[in-house]
Amino acid sequence: MSYTKDEKIGSSKTIRALSFWHGVTSTALRKMPMDLSARQTAVLMNVYLMPPPHSIKSLADDLMISKPAICRAVDALEKSKLVKRIRDKQDKRNVIIQRTVKGSVYLSEFADIILHISKEAA
């Protein structure tokens, strides 16, 4: 059985949503200083948008993905200086994931791209 492009994707609402996200991601690839995976982006946004403190366990619970996957994402984000790990002052066994200025700037620039593409789509 063969399908047209529109039949494979679905409704015009679906096509608009996918076109919007395509515009965001393709613009971000061209303009942003680094290319983050979807998982890394989700972890980064969680750290910046949800109230702290953030631990590997809390991020894994919030995003419903494994702790090793969170650790790998945080490793990459920390290497890029978008977040940093610090020891919890109350319980030295715990590691807290904190925001950085570079991470704030990155997400602000990413938000600008989203706003720009949403204005184009309107």
Token pair, residue 39, equals 């998982």
Q: Which CATH number fits domain 5-121: 2.40.37.10, 3.40.50.300, 2.70.150.10, 1.10.10.10?
A: 1.10.10.10
pTM (predicted TM-score): 0.85
Query: Tens place of pLDDT for every residue, the chain, 122 residues?
Result: 454 555 566 788 888 899 999 999 999 999 999 999 999 999 999 999 999 999 999 999 999 999 999 999 999 999 999 999 999 888 888 899 999 999 999 999 999 999 999 988 77
Could you check whether the bond before residue 53 is cis, i.e. omega within 30 degrees of 0?
yes
Residue boundaries of the structural domains of the chain: 5-121
Instruction: List the one residue out of 38, 52, 56, 65 whose CA is nearest residue 100.
Output: 52
